[in-house]
Structure 1
């Protein structure tokens, strides 16, 4: 077996325990042996249809066994997997499809209209539907699995080969494809296994979307490599989650703080049986102390971390034993990852002084897809990645993230870059100037607020703003409030002062 990449994992796991359950979805189980056979067949069929090493294959759909099969089959033939965010607008997805120059698109029939709109703007040679196609030119996934012959494809895949493109919004307003190698993803899994103690009998609830780096790379892949069972949920439902935990014996679950908050507010929380859970992990935003105490009262303690797609994503981890003692911090570096806090001169900032978080390690991306200038702006010759986040390191080495140099905010676990929202807002004929910031929100952590200077004689209200942006941006990116101002605060050189807007909002 020449393949040392992730595409070999199903067959390697099947060699060890073919009858163990790999996946559960909607009450249906799939063993490692069954999964390995389907991955082999699908990979062979994709190859027969012309997908070659290095080609990009995208998946558009909710959490489902087809996501897993498409990912592993793509990687097994040396191609590059591109998970697409189902929450994005068709125009955003079409940009990614064109940028990646997709060879194939696999989509769920529940997203047929979205897929058609994307393909209208970014035609793709090979089309595959999970379910029943309405497109006569499309294959079905089951058809490909049935026609593919199990054979040794003998495609040499190493840790330096590209495994995945994960798109992240950028400060320029245009998404960037983060190029992650098989080695990046493997080393990140090592970091997780060290910090979380994932077991071979793990039953992991994966209800956060797998098109995001945390659910896929921090949760699903570590469970898979250890031979545990991943329970794939198409969407997060707090009431259903409270039922699934005792029903399936869930041992590990990941989510953003808003998801864990929703569980505590769901009917049945007080009497829910949570005794099977060994680990509760949160990401995307700091876990409030009140929520930590609520879960501790049920015998559960949060682990939480800080990361980014560019680091596959693990950078810092706050272990369970420190969750209250160091509440508000992001923890210390993951085992195989090095982190520093540097000042404007590039020197390590002393404890107590703010500086930019920089990251180095085998989990750090190769670069941004076909964006050399953007890559060089954040990744130096020694592999140190400039995060753009500002942190303060305490005397024990724990980092507290205090500001975002890039103005990004996080809404319900989703990164939102104001530049992207502002670019879309500028297209409205009533908008002369605009600025978007993140403001605190009890449910989502942060939501957008738009400050707008109107053109003479024009008007704009919240309803019109939402209508206009609905076709251009994902719903979570649309600002939840609008403030019309006579002018935006600027310094003497004309630079926008977003700090003044945040101060006014405080």
Structure 2
């Protein structure tokens, strides 16, 4: 990337280079790069008028939309920090995110997917009905509603809330915003990413402009993104898979990003076809739901590649069933902006399917034994640790957790189990805390899930360790079957018995309709701790 690695600099260069290229297609709204830049400049002027300062935290609470992107880019353009708020957050989580994240100005939509955010925010901070700031969130001085007021009579907006349209966009404010854009540095914080806390209240990961933009550019090279690509991503913008790996990958390459506010499989399949999308991304759940849908037809898929966080069975199916030739395997986490290792689209299929991927240039990886603390030799599993340019600055206002996240010699501890081969390629085996011990043998749930996925009737599978008097722990599995197929628990257990070591075979297996009730995070990941608690109750193991 020539010139400064800041979001306003890259957006300005992109708008100048390809003004008429389509930039975004989201929820029926289409904008080219010139229009996007113009809207960002207008929103930046309104933010400056609203008193947003360099380094201040701006909350954005809305589903995937062009407005979301405009607000994120506008905040970045004046040196402010975006705090994306998960649209699934309820009262306590919303309160925590806004308070712990020191959000000063919040931009939000009235309603999204039948959630009334105006009412939810009133419940968090009663001062919404009088004047901000209030006592619950003493730093939140302004709340700004963006777009239509659907759930309320337009006159009934709370007294403490303003309309985005009513903020002034004048030549003076524009000039001030343009001057502020020049002062943004690659070292400035771009985003505070709240990690989907699968264990506890989330932590706010501090990511700089250069962390995210360099990560997007490095990832785009490996994926093989071209300016004329049409890249469809269902990933929510409140996660780094949506910001770095979707929005910014498109921005740095000049490709068009297409997205949807919510994941409706039939709608996604139609969009992939009608918009002739060439790239996509997703985790195993997303791809399995697409391939398992009654409206799935291979001839409706025009994809060349993209990236997936998925195991070998699913990577192979993406190639064979969807006909996507150049899908690459990805591993990362929010604390690394997020991508750590990624295949090159030109890697042999067997490497991409098996999940053996190399780190980006300038990023170092190692595995460390949990028992001895020693760096592991090639092919010996251990905790994946990372060092280099994409690693976070730390967790916001959490000095102890930040210190714990790094080893004594300065490597980011991922909490993931992996193995690195003699060529320096890594394969992730699972979350360390999800790994359970059956009679002294370590079992990573992903290994058992892979075996279950290979059964023709299985659409989704999740495995956890549950208590056992004799062995300490044993495997318990929950399986969603494909529509129109049948398989019994006994049959699936027998399938595993013939294919993997005895200690990995599920002792318990339950067929379920979905994982929605049992516990998903906002990033469509199943929360293993919730699933484990559920299993202990279901199988009477308390």
Fold shared per TM-score above 0.5:
yes
The aligned residue for residue 305 of structure 1 is: 330
1:138-164 residue CA offsets vs partner (Å, 9 max, x unmatched): 223333375674325322111111111
Structure 2 Cα separation of the partners of residues 68 and 254 of structure 1: 18
Q: 2:137 aligns with which of 114, 118, 122?
A: 122
Q: Which residue of 2 aligns with 1:367?
A: 394
Q: What's the CA shift for 1:118? A: 3.8
Q: Which residue of 1 aligns with 2:350?
A: 324
Q: For the Cα contact (< 8 Å) 1:55–1:79, is it kept in 2? A: yes
Report the Cα offset of residue 126 of structure 1. Answer: 1.1
Determine which of 202, 206, 214 is the counterpart of 2:241: 214
Question: Which runs of structure 2 are paired with 1:388-427 in the superposition (5 Å)?
Answer: 388-407=415-434
Partner-residue secondary structure (3-state), 2:269: helix
Quote the residue 1:462 is aligned against: none
- Bigger drift between 308-317 and 254-263 goes to 254-263
Aligned to 1:204: 231
* Counterpart check, 1:260 vs 2:261: no
Alignment of 1:78-477 (within 5 A): 78-111=79-112, 112=117, 113-120=119-126, 121-122=136-137, 124-133=140-149, 134-144=157-167, 146=169, 149-151=173-175, 153=177, 154-155=179-180, 156-169=183-196, 173-270=200-297, 272-275=299-302, 277-283=303-309, 286-289=310-313, 292-293=316-317, 295-301=319-325, 302-320=327-345, 321-325=347-351, 327-344=353-370, 345-380=372-407, 383-407=410-434, 440-443=477-480, 477=527
- Counterpart CA distance in 1 for 2:242 and 2:476 is 25
Check the 8 A contact 1:52/1:78 in 2, yes or no.
yes
In 1, Cα distance between equivalents of 2:226 and 2:411: 32
Shift of 1:481: 2.6
User: Contact 1:3 / 1:76 at 8 angstroms: preserved in 2?
Assistant: no
Residues of 1 paired with 2:4 and 2:355: CA distance? 40
CA contact (8 A) 2:8 2:73 kept: yes
Query: CA separation in 1, counterparts of 2:315 and 2:10?
Result: 37
Bigger shift: residues 74-83 or 317-326: 317-326
Q: Label 1:115 to 1:21 Cα distance change in 2 as closer, same or farther (>3 A).
A: farther
Query: Structure 1: how far apart are the matches of 2:105 and 2:46?
Result: 12
Q: What runs of 5+ residues in structure 1 fail to find an aligned partner?
A: 419-435, 445-465, 489-506
Number of positions where the alignment pairs a residue of Structure 1 with one of Structure 2: 439
Relative to structure 1, is the Cα distance of residues 4 and 398 closer, same or farther in structure 2, using a 3 angstrom cutoff? closer
Give CA deviations for 1:223-260 in whole Å, capped at 9, x if unaligned.
Answer: 11211211121112221122112311211111111111
SS at match of 2:285: helix
CA distances 1:43-100 after superposition (whole Å, capped 9, x unpaired): 1211122111111001111100111011011111111101111122221121011001
Quote how far apart the aligned CAs of 1:205 are: 1.0
Once residues 475 and 350 of structure 1 are traced to their aligned partners in structure 2, the CA distance between those partners, rounded to angstroms, is 31
Q: How large is the RMSD of aligned CA atoms in angstroms? A: 3.4
Mapped to 2, the partners of 1:468 and 1:223 lie a distance apart of 34
Q: In 2, Cα distance between the equivalents of 1:80 and 1:102? A: 9
Contact 2:14-2:33 at 8 Å conserved across structures = yes
Structure 2, unaligned runs of 5 or more = 127-135, 150-156, 436-444, 450-461, 465-472, 482-515
Aligned pair 1:50/2:51, yes or no? yes
Determine the C-alpha separation between the residues in 2 that align with 1:299 and 1:105.
Answer: 43
2:186–2:210 contact (8 Å) kept in structure 1: yes
DSSP 3-state at the match of 1:208? coil
Pairwise CA distance, 1:184: 0.8
Deviation at 1:468, TM superposition (A): 13
Is residue 70 of structure 2 the alignment partner of residue 64 of structure 1?
Answer: no
